[in-house]
Amino acid sequence: MTGTAKHPVMHVVDGRYRAGVDDLAVEAHISISSNAGHSVDLLGTPLNVVDLAIGHAVCEGWWLGGGEPPTVEHEIVDRMEVLTLTAEAWSSPLPHRHIVPSCGGCGLTLNHPTLGTALPYGQRVELDEALDLVRRMQDEQHLFMSTGGTHAAALVTTGGWLLREDIGRHSAVDKAIGAWFASGSRPEVRCLIVSGRCGWDVMAKAVRAGVRQVIAIGAISAQAAELARHEGVLVVGFALGERPQCLGPWSS
DSSP conformation class of 210: T
Which SS3 state, helix, strand or coil, does residue 224 take? Answer: helix
* Domains: count for the chain: 2
Same domain, 135 and 83: no
Model confidence at 249, in pLDDT bands (50, 70, 90)?
Answer: confident
Which positions are annotated as active-site residues?
A: 103
Residue-number span of the structural domain to which 191 is assigned: 127-247
Assess if residue 21 is contained within a domain.
no
Bridge-based pairing of strands 4-13 and 16-25 is antiparallel
213: CATH: 3.40.140.10
Yes or no: say if 129 and 113 are a contact pair by the CB < 8 Å rule. Answer: no
pLDDT above 80: residue 252: no
| Nearest in space to 26 (alpha carbons), one of 134, 165, 157 | 165
Assess if residue 89 is contained within a domain.
yes
Assess if residue 5 is contained within a domain.
no
Arithmetic mean of pLDDT, 234-252:
88
| Nearest in space to 165 (alpha carbons), one of 132, 140, 183 | 140
Same domain, 166 and 232: yes
Assess if residue 144 is contained within a domain.
yes
Same domain, 144 and 225: yes
Most confident of 1-5, 93-97, 127-131, 149-153: 149-153
Tell whether the torsion through CA atoms of 18, 20, 24 and 26 is positive or negative. Answer: positive
Same domain, 162 and 223: yes
Please write the tens of the pLDDT for every residue from 33-75: 999 999 999 999 999 999 999 999 999 999 987 788 999 999 9
Assess if residue 17 is contained within a domain.
no
Same domain, 168 and 235: yes
What lies within 8 Å, CB to CB, of 199 at 6+ separation is 221, 223, 224
Same domain, 94 and 132: no
How far apart are the C-alpha atoms of 217 and 196, rounded to whole Å? 5
Same domain, 140 and 76: no
Query: Is the whole model's pTM more than 0.75, yes or no?
Result: yes
Assess if residue 105 is contained within a domain.
no
Please tell me the predicted confidence (pLDDT) of residue 213: 97
Assess if residue 113 is contained within a domain.
no
